[in-house]
């Protein structure tokens, strides 16, 4: 039987629309009478709002609507619903949205934003996660600056006994690795268009990479019925904005065409605000972030500080690996805790190590919230562990290739979380890689296989 | 608010008349690659625009000892001009490192200079080449050397009623050797962190009137005069190059900004001058 | 307000603009031609690229009034008599388009190159596209697409 797709080169299903310019991204959807949205953002990184006066903006000709925290039925969202759509009192990062304006055009919207008066009591912010972890640090969040993974202030992974492992080791290699924050810089900025339909329903054109997550959260934010009070109280893990009375049919959520995401669009950035303003004004509302806003205030890959301590025997086997990682989460949980989870589960690398101890911390600071980016927390871990392997090789006087071959997963072995790996080919991949790179590896490495540990 | 007005100048004189009439309210528009960024970012909202695209300021001429370039000549035209490649190859090379093709297609040499940026790449080339500018206004014209044109970040000697008519570059016949290097965050579409342009006329192997121009390391693009003077009448040697490179670093007065630190810039200047002089002496 | 008259993809257009209006705003907001994108609005990313009198320009920092009397081409104007331009075919065949947001600008920048230099080297293609950013492809497949189109056009000629 000849396969139509398997083993064949298949053209992109949307490729033809891309090369003819027909692909319609969110900002390309044009609905007559659409209002332009601009946000009023906090000028300080930490503070307490004393007074917010939007009356001058509201009175301006051409302004159709202004919203503040008061207009948000359930002002807490996220997987752990801790992030307000618009700040009510406590500002946690510079640029955090406090109000939003919908006006006939961009010039009017910007002018209206400039007329909003804010009286804010500035407080001392904390930017460094290490500082934020100290007991007397300024509180980013009332419940504390360190995310609680259940009862522990860190995600803990234990396999075997690292202390016993270190005793068996011939050398110990310990290093600290820093990974800076990174911006996705996807070419399509955050954008959203909400169009009110008859009967209070909405059509929202979204850049979301996580349609159903976001649809659920939006229904929570917009809920018009009970639980209003309860939902404003933040409770760990038991999401309130997940509970909603509106049905999925109340929002026609149109997505799937994303002009680059890379994780930048796994959190709601604009859909909640366009939805609220569309409901308030009864008119279509569009919010396209400027590139500057996107770079400064959208989510990004948070910074990491990782300490790795390895115990290695003379033959290059890693017999114990201890990792302490600290993730700079910014002001809200977003997907940060999931990022730390994935990091902790896989930080030991694609190597079979019998004794592993990982502590993954997720620490709040007064910066814009970090969140997902390609590979979640695994990519920074890979950077750190692979540099660590090169350092081990130098210290042992061994070829770094050999360290990787000697420790690579073999079929039937397991990860630090005791997940048995059955489909493994790291040894073979490295052999192929060496071949392609023109690296002449010794026979003892080229004859190894993933099926058995030699 | 007064009615906003747009004028298309058909010759430099008309542009001068409009500048005289509207004074500081009027802004000149050529390629718009700086002006329109400021407009989009709401830093600028001009009341009067005078468009120079069809004002007859797009030309490259050879006039006896000089190469003369109209201020509204786009970079792409200058880069592709055989005349420029023969008489001032340094300028063509420098321009090839400015922004990217789309920007060079409309961005003009006069606009780059009038913008007054300390990092203006064409300025380092013109400083090294010993060029001067012909400025015109309704009252008449004057010629200023490029090193006297810039007065501070974003500031020049241009009066509000004046415009740059043309750039005058002395032809460097014979043995003038030159070298250029720009450091940016990436190769294209980037502002200089540091740039160095050197023009070194050689007479029997001896340096005669070397000009070393530095970009993005002082409030304006500058000439490292002492670094050049050290070389006068001498044959380039390793020791001499070293001395000159150090003098060039001393001549700089860089700042810390998002693109680079003063510490880095000072060291980069020294390294680049050393590298480029070595290239010239080879 | 001023009246701007210019040609877009062969059609004469007349729109009202003011001093601050950009060519990109005219195309997207007044003529509803949405293939040029708003990526940065500062001339840095290249998603708004169009051809003006055959030359590649950034429509986001092109003052609309400077397009007076000129001919503007967007990607909608590339196909002739229902036939795609070889660059469009090549980008589709060689996976030069991924999310598609940079694609119209990327193809127009490539066209500007091939119009002037029908047989570019890979280096020349990179230089020609140096002002157009892409975050998906890593550029390799984009350059492959340009080279494939050049090849195809050369064959069609001979």
- Angstroms from A160 CA to nearest CA on chain C: 41
| End position of a domain, from candidates B149, B170, B191 | B170
Identify the band that residue A238 occupies on the pLDDT scale cut at 50, 70 and 90: very low
Average pLDDT, integer, range B234-247: 96
Indicate yes or no: CB of C66 within 8 angstroms of CB of B33.
Answer: no
If DSSP codes are grouped into helix, strand and coil, which group holds residue C51? strand
Identify the burial level of B171 via C-beta atoms within 10 angstroms of its C-beta, where 0-12 means exposed, 13-18 middle and 19 or more buried. Answer: middle
Indicate yes or no: CB of B101 within 8 angstroms of CB of C57.
Answer: no
Q: Closest-CA residue in chain B for C68?
A: B8
Predicted confidence (pLDDT) at residue C12 exceeds the cutoff of 50: yes
Q: Is C16 on the interface with A (CB under 8 A)?
A: no
Predicted confidence (pLDDT) at residue B82 exceeds the cutoff of 50: yes
Question: In percent, how much of chain A has pLDDT > 90?
Answer: 87
Count of pairs with CB atoms under 8 A, one residue in B, one in C: 83
Planar angle of CA B159, B164, B168, nearest 5 degrees: 130
- Angstroms from A342 CA to nearest CA on chain C: 23
Indicate yes or no: CB of B45 within 8 angstroms of CB of C20.
Answer: yes
Closest CA to A197 of A279, A307, A116, A76: A279
Identify the band that residue B2 occupies on the pLDDT scale cut at 50, 70 and 90: low
Q: Is C4 on the interface with B (CB under 8 A)?
A: no
The number of beta carbons lying within 10 Å of the beta carbon of residue B251 is: 20
Integer Cα distance of B15 and B163 in angstroms: 8
- The C-alpha torsion from B210 through B213 and B217 to B222, rounded to 10°, is 100
Q: Which domain holds residue B152?
A: 60-170
CB within 8 Å of B264: residues ≥ 6 apart = B193
Please provide the distance, in angstroms rounded to a whole number, between the alpha carbons at the two ends of chain C: 51
Of C74, C107, C136, the CB nearest to A19: C107
* All chains having 3 or more CB pairs closer than 8 angstroms to chain C: A, B
Q: Closest-CA residue in chain C for B106?
A: C57
Q: How many residues does chain B have?
A: 282
Integer Cα distance of A370 and A359 in angstroms: 19
- Angstroms from C130 CA to nearest CA on chain A: 15
Residues B269 and B229 in one domain: yes
Q: Is C141 on the interface with A (CB under 8 A)?
A: no
- Angstroms from C69 CA to nearest CA on chain B: 12
Sheet holding A304-312, edge to edge: A155-159, A356-364, A318-330, A304-312, A171-179
State pLDDT tens for residues A79-89: 899 999 999 99
Indicate yes or no: CB of C135 within 8 angstroms of CB of A187.
Answer: yes
- Angstroms from C58 CA to nearest CA on chain B: 6
Indicate which CATH number applies to the domain containing B38.
3.30.43.10
Residues B64 and B35 in one domain: no
* All chains having 3 or more CB pairs closer than 8 angstroms to chain B: C
- Residue B131 has what DSSP assignment? -
Identify the band that residue B100 occupies on the pLDDT scale cut at 50, 70 and 90: very high
- Angstroms from C139 CA to nearest CA on chain A: 14
Question: How far are the Cα atoms of B254, B255, C51, C127 from residue C56, in angstroms, in the given order?
Answer: 35, 35, 5, 13
Indicate yes or no: CB of B100 within 8 angstroms of CB of C57.
Answer: no
Residues B43 and B112 in one domain: no
Integer Cα distance of C87 and C73 in angstroms: 15
Identify the band that residue A242 occupies on the pLDDT scale cut at 50, 70 and 90: very low
Query: What's the pLDDT score for residue A229?
Result: 33
For A292-448, list the strands marked E by DSSP. Answer: 304-312, 318-330, 356-364
Indicate which CATH number applies to the domain containing B164.
3.30.465.10
Residues B139 and B189 in one domain: no
Q: Closest-CA residue in chain C for A9?
A: C93
Identify the band that residue B175 occupies on the pLDDT scale cut at 50, 70 and 90: low
Q: Is B263 on the interface with C (CB under 8 A)?
A: no
Indicate yes or no: CB of B36 within 8 angstroms of CB of C61.
Answer: yes
State pLDDT tens for residues C55-67: 999 999 999 999 9
- Which domains are seen in chain C, by residue range? 2-77 (3.10.20.30), 86-157 (1.10.150.120)
CB within 8 Å of B72: residues ≥ 6 apart = B30, B52, B53, B55, B57, B58, B108, B110, B111
- Angstroms from C79 CA to nearest CA on chain A: 8
Q: Is B42 on the interface with C (CB under 8 A)?
A: no
Q: Is residue A100 within 8 Å of A253, Cβ to Cβ?
A: no
Least confident of A29-33, A111-115, B3-7: B3-7
Predicted confidence (pLDDT) at residue B3 exceeds the cutoff of 80: no
Query: What's the pLDDT score for residue C158?
Result: 82
- Residue B43 has what DSSP assignment? S
Q: What is the largest CA-CA distance in chain C?
A: 51
Residues B185 and B276 in one domain: yes
Question: In percent, how much of chain A has pLDDT > 70?
Answer: 94
Query: What's the pLDDT score for residue B24?
Result: 84
Question: In percent, how much of chain B has pLDDT > 90?
Answer: 91
Predicted confidence (pLDDT) at residue A236 exceeds the cutoff of 50: no
- Which domains are seen in chain A, by residue range? 15-123+189-297 (3.90.1170.50), 143-182+300-446 (3.30.365.10)
The backbone torsions φ and ψ at residue C87, rounded to the nearest 5 degrees and listed phi first, read -65, -40
Q: Which chain A positions have a beta carbon within 8 Å of C103's beta carbon?
A: 18-19, 21, 23
Q: Which residue has the tokens 């670094």?
A: B227
Query: What's the pLDDT score for residue B173?
Result: 55
The number of beta carbons lying within 10 Å of the beta carbon of residue A383 is: 15
Indicate yes or no: CB of B99 within 8 angstroms of CB of C55.
Answer: no
Residues B28 and B127 in one domain: no
Query: What's the pLDDT score for residue A233?
Result: 35
Identify the band that residue B204 occupies on the pLDDT scale cut at 50, 70 and 90: confident
Query: What's the pLDDT score for residue A2?
Result: 79
Average pLDDT, integer, range B118-143: 96
Which helix (DSSP H) or strand (DSSP E) does residue B221 occupy? none
Q: Is A185 on the interface with C (CB under 8 A)?
A: yes
Q: Which chain B positions have a beta carbon within 8 Å of C55's beta carbon?
A: 76, 105-106
Which one of C135, C137, C144 would you mutate to disrupt binding with A, by most A Cβ within 10 Å of its Cβ? C135
State pLDDT tens for residues A358-390: 999 999 999 999 999 999 999 999 999 999 999
Identify the band that residue A225 occupies on the pLDDT scale cut at 50, 70 and 90: very low
Identify the band that residue A224 occupies on the pLDDT scale cut at 50, 70 and 90: very low
Predicted confidence (pLDDT) at residue A135 exceeds the cutoff of 70: yes
Average pLDDT, integer, range A37-46: 98
> What long-range pairs does A440-443 form, CB within 8 A, spacing at least 24?
A441/A401, A442/A402
Predicted confidence (pLDDT) at residue B28 exceeds the cutoff of 70: yes
Q: Is A11 on the interface with C (CB under 8 A)?
A: yes
Identify the band that residue A245 occupies on the pLDDT scale cut at 50, 70 and 90: low
Write down the mean pLDDT value for chain A. 93
Query: What's the pLDDT score for residue A249?
Result: 77
Residues B96 and B136 in one domain: yes
Closest CA to A365 of A339, A326, A308, A323: A326
Query: What's the pLDDT score for residue A227?
Result: 39
Q: Closest-CA residue in chain A for C89?
A: A19
Counting the structural domains of chain B, the total is 3
The number of beta carbons lying within 10 Å of the beta carbon of residue B42 is: 12
Predicted confidence (pLDDT) at residue B226 exceeds the cutoff of 90: yes
Sheet holding A117-122, edge to edge: A90-91, A47-53, A117-122
Indicate yes or no: CB of C19 within 8 angstroms of CB of B4.
Answer: yes
Predicted confidence (pLDDT) at residue A277 exceeds the cutoff of 60: yes
Average pLDDT, integer, range A267-287: 97
Q: Is residue A236 within 8 Å of A347, Cβ to Cβ?
A: no
Q: Is C24 on the interface with A (CB under 8 A)?
A: no
| End position of a domain, from candidates B145, B170, B195 | B170
Indicate yes or no: CB of B101 within 8 angstroms of CB of C42.
Answer: no
Query: What's the pLDDT score for residue B203?
Result: 85
Residues B276 and B213 in one domain: yes
Identify the burial level of A70 via C-beta atoms within 10 angstroms of its C-beta, where 0-12 means exposed, 13-18 middle and 19 or more buried. Answer: exposed
Q: Which chain B positions have a beta carbon within 8 Å of C112's beta carbon?
A: 101
Identify the band that residue A234 occupies on the pLDDT scale cut at 50, 70 and 90: very low
> Between residues 55 and 114 of chain C, which touch chain A (CB distance below 8 Å)?
74-76, 79, 84, 87-89, 91-93, 95-104, 107
Predicted confidence (pLDDT) at residue A181 exceeds the cutoff of 50: yes
Q: Which chain C positions have a beta carbon within 8 Å of B35's beta carbon?
A: 63
Residues B269 and B226 in one domain: yes
Predicted confidence (pLDDT) at residue A237 exceeds the cutoff of 50: no
Residues B204 and B239 in one domain: yes
Identify the band that residue A239 occupies on the pLDDT scale cut at 50, 70 and 90: very low
Inter-axis angle of helices B238-251 and B262-281, to 10 degrees?
A: 150
- Angstroms from A190 CA to nearest CA on chain C: 10
């Amino acid at each position: 039987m000849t396969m139509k797709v398997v083993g064949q080169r298949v053209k992109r299903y949307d490729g033809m629309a891309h090369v003819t310019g027909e692909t319609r991204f969110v900002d390309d959807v044009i609905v007559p009478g659409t209002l332009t949205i601009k946000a009023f953002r906090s000028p300080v990184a930490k503070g307490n709002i004393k007074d917010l006066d939007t009356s001058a903006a509201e009175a301006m000709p051409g302004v159709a609507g202004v919203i503040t925290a008061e207009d948000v039925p359930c002002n807490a969202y996220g997987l752990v619903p801790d992030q307000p759509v618009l700040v009510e009192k406590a500002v946690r990062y510079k640029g955090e949205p406090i109000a939003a304006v919908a006006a006939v055009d961009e010039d009017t919207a910007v002018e209206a934003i400039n007329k909003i008066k804010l009286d804010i009591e500035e407080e001392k912010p904390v930017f460094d996660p290490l500082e934020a972890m100290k007991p007397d640090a300024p509180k980013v969040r009332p419940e504390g600056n360190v995310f609680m993974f259940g009862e522990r202030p860190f995600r803990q992974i234990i396999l075997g006994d690292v202390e016993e492992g270190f005793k068996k080791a011939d050398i110990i290699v310990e290093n600290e690795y820093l990974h800076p924050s990174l911006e996705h810089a996807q070419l399509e900025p955050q954008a959203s268009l909400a169009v009110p339909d008859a009967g209070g329903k909405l059509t929202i054109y979204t850049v979301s990479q996580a349609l159903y997550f976001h649809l659920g959260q939006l229904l929570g934010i917009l809920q018009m019925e009970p639980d209003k009070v309860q939902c404003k109280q933040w409770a760990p893990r038991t999401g309130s904005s997940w509970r909603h009375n509106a049905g999925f049919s109340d929002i026609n959520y149109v997505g799937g065409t994303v002009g680059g995401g890379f994780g930048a669009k796994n959190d709601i950035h604009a859909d909640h605000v366009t939805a609220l303003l569309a409901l308030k004004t009864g008119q279509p509302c569009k919010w396209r972030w400027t590139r500057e806003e996107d770079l400064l205030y959208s989510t990004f890959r948070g910074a990491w500080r990782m300490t790795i301590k390895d115990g290695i025997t003379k033959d290059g086997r890693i017999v114990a690996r201890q990792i302490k990682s600290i993730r700079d989460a910014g002001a809200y949980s977003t997907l940060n805790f999931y990022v730390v989870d994935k990091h902790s589960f896989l930080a030991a690398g694609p190597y079979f190590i019998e004794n592993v101890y990982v502590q993954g911390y997720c620490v709040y600071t007064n910066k814009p919230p970090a969140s997902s980016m390609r590979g979640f927390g695994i990519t920074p871990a890979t950077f750190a562990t692979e540099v660590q392997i090169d350092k081990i090789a130098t210290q042992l006087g061994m070829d770094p290739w050999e360290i990787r071959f000697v420790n690579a997963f073999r079929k039937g072995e397991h990860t630090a979380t005791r997940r048995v790996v059955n489909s493994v080919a790291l040894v073979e991949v490295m052999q192929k890689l060496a071949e392609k790179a023109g690296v002449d590896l010794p026979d003892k490495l080229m004859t190894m296989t993933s099926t058995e540990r030699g | 608010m007064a009615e906003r007005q747009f004028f298309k100048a058909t010759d430099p004189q008309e542009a001068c008349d409009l500048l005289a009439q509207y004074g500081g309210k009027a802004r000149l528009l050529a390629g718009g690659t700086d002006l329109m960024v400021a407009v989009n970012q709401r830093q600028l909202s001009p009341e009067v625009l005078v468009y120079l695209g069809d004002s007859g300021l797009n030309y490259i001429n050879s006039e006896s000892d000089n190469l003369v370039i109209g201020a509204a000549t786009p970079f792409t035209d200058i880069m592709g001009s055989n005349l420029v490649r023969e008489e001032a190859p340094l300028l063509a090379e420098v321009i090839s490192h400015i922004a990217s093709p789309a920007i060079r297609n409309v961005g003009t040499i006069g606009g780059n200079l009038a913008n007054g940026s300390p990092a203006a790449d064409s300025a380092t080339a013109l400083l090294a080449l010993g060029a001067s500018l012909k400025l015109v206004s309704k009252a008449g014209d004057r010629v200023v050397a490029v090193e006297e044109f810039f007065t501070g970040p974003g500031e020049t000697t241009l009066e509000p009623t004046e415009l740059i008519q043309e750039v005058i570059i002395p032809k460097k016949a014979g043995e003038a050797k030159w070298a250029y290097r720009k450091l940016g965050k990436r190769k294209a579409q980037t502002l200089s962190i540091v740039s160095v342009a050197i023009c070194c006329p050689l007479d029997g192997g001896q340096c005669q009137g070397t000009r070393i121009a530095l970009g993005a390391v002082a409030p304006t693009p500058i000439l490292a005069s002492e670094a050049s003077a050290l070389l006068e009448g001498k044959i380039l040697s390793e020791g001499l190059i070293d001395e000159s490179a150090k003098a060039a670093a001393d001549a700089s007065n860089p700042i810390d900004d998002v693109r680079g630190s003063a510490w880095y810039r000072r060291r980069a200047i020294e390294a680049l001058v050393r590298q480029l002089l070595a290239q010239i002496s080879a | 307000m001023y009246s701007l008259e210019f040609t877009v993809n062969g059609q004469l257009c007349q729109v009202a603009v003011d001093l601050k209006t950009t060519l990109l705003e005219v195309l997207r907001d007044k003529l509803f031609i949405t293939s040029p994108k708003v990526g940065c609005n500062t001339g840095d990313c290249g998603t708004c690229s169009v051809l003006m009198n055959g030359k590649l320009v950034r429509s986001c920092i092109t003052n609309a009034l400077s397009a007076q009397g000129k001919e503007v081409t967007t990607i909608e104007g590339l196909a002739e008599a229902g036939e795609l331009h070889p660059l469009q075919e090549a980008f589709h065949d060689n996976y030069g388009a991924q999310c598609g947001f940079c694609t119209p600008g990327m193809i127009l920048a490539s066209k500007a190159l091939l119009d002037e230099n029908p047989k570019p080297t890979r280096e020349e293609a990179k230089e020609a596209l140096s002002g157009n950013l892409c975050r998906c492809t890593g550029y390799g497949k984009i350059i492959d697409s340009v080279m494939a189109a050049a090849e195809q056009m050369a064959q069609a000629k001979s």
